[in-house]
Structure 1
Amino acid sequence: MSTVPTVSTFLQTLATQRWDDHRYYHQSRINQTLHLVSACSFLVAYVLLFTDPAMAAIVGWGVSMVTRQSGHFFFEPRGFDQVNQVTDEYKEEVKVGFNMQRKSVLLGVWAAIPLLLWLQPALFGLIEPGVGFEGWLHDVGIAWLALAVTGIGFRVLQLSLQGRPLQGLIWVTKILTDPFHDIVLYHRAPLALLRGERLDPMVHVRPH
């Protein structure tokens, strides 16, 4: 007999996803600082969505996602996680959202879109191309916005097919509210970095 998830269950699972994301993937102070920059620019993108969706996507992908994913790819330690006593393979396997492999695919498509629209402005006859550089930039923004929606929707569909639709819904809630949460969580990271602290000691994570 299936049970309907309660609000408390939803919030508890959301908190667990946030906690795992923080302790597994945000140990570098550089990564945390880049996430702070990313979060602030994502809030700008959220505002722009109401007036200029294409520009919102350009800010979201060109600033927010670049800073955010640069932190993960270039500065976050990989290999065996001494803080949590788990392997990198384990973390990648249990990741609800986009692990490093899925991110690589998504970012590959993201990087290819501007080139594709430069070579095929009409997208093989599917769209009415914009005029000049501004028109091309607008089309890139709209395509990036579509990619964001498609990427999120595809991952939710994957989780649903795996029998985890609630996990997908909670994950969407998490990533949409991450900018607000990241500002609260990482606003002190730049100061710690200036003090020469390259890695968060994670004393709140380590077992006592």
Structure 2
Amino acid sequence: MTAFIEHLREQRWDDHRYYHHSRINQSLHLVSAVSFVCAYIMAFWNPAMAALIGWLGAMTTRQVGHLVFEPKGYDAKNQATHEHKENIKVGYNLRRKIVLMSIWVMSPFCLLIDNTLGGTMDTPQSLDEFIRNVGILWLCLAMGGLLFRTMQLFFSSGIQTGLVWATKIITDPFHDIMLYRTAPLHLLRGELIDQSTRHNHSSQLS
């Protein structure tokens, strides 16, 4: 268990120091994290609505932060190129994220072509029911994306790495709220880039 927790801290630390320099990105991650927590709560009553909140609110703000606002040049702070960081990324790097988000955007068109998705869903009788089916489809996509990458990591990096990454993804919203709760204040002060230096990932991200 100690090794698992330390591995989780290491993955969180690498994700933070490599991919969260921009205060705008950090602030968007805070919005995303709150949205995800709302989606988690909503899932107990309405899983389809939870998926809509998760994809339209949480995932959109999160990925806009990465794709638009995060610096892509040489990372002098960590002495790493963007290409190096992309190659060692444990989970979904930017290329994989673009593929995943493209599938997400295109997936509702499958329901326009076949509104029962091969008989796996009820035929929608109204716009609300169609949107509900989209939510169910997106819920399956989220679970499939998590399971697919976890299984990939099982074979490429070991079972523990895959389980740690899955745990990190599921718990990221709560951790991001704690980590980036002050980011909007820094942004209001005109601090666009996080200049702080943190050497000890155990104390910073535990």
- After superposition, the Cα gap between the structure-2 partners of 1:176 and 1:134, relative to the gap in structure 1 and judged at 3 Å, is same
Q: Which amino acid aligns with 1:177?
A: T
How big is each residue's C-alpha offset from its partner over 1:122-164, in whole Å with a ceiling of 9 and x where there is no partner?
A: 2244432222110110001000000011111110111112141
Q: Matches of 1:100 and 1:154 in 2, distance apart?
A: 16
Q: Matches of 2:98 and 2:125 in 1, distance apart?
A: 31
Deviation at 1:120, TM superposition (A): 2.5
- Whether contact under 8 Å (2:43, 2:50) holds in the other structure is yes
- Whether contact under 8 Å (1:129, 1:139) holds in the other structure is no
1:67 is paired with a residue of what secondary structure?
Answer: helix
2:153 maps to: 159
More deviation, 24-33/154-163? 154-163
Equivalence map 1:41-52=2 (5 Å) = 41-52=35-46
2:100 maps to: 106
- After superposition, the Cα gap between the structure-2 partners of 1:202 and 1:68, relative to the gap in structure 1 and judged at 3 Å, is same
Pick aligned residue for 1:121 from 90, 99, 115: 115
- Whether contact under 8 Å (2:121, 2:133) holds in the other structure is no
1:96 is paired with a residue of what secondary structure?
Answer: coil
2:23 maps to: 29
How big is each residue's C-alpha offset from its partner over 1:34-59, in whole Å with a ceiling of 9 and x where there is no partner?
A: 00000001000000111000000000
RMSD: 1.3
Q: Matches of 2:196 and 2:111 in 1, distance apart?
A: 44
Q: Which amino acid aligns with 2:43?
A: L
Matched residues, percent identical? 50
1:3 maps to: none
- Whether contact under 8 Å (2:75, 2:82) holds in the other structure is yes
More deviation, 14-23/113-122? 113-122
2:141 maps to: 147
Which runs of 5 or more structure 2 residues have no equivalent in the other structure?
201-206
TM-score (norm 2): 0.93
2:204 maps to: none
More deviation, 117-126/51-60? 117-126
1:75 maps to: 69
- Whether contact under 8 Å (1:46, 1:56) holds in the other structure is yes
- After superposition, the Cα gap between the structure-2 partners of 1:128 and 1:189, relative to the gap in structure 1 and judged at 3 Å, is same
Q: Matches of 2:105 and 2:157 in 1, distance apart?
A: 32
Number of paired residues?
A: 200
Q: Matches of 2:172 and 2:149 in 1, distance apart?
A: 17
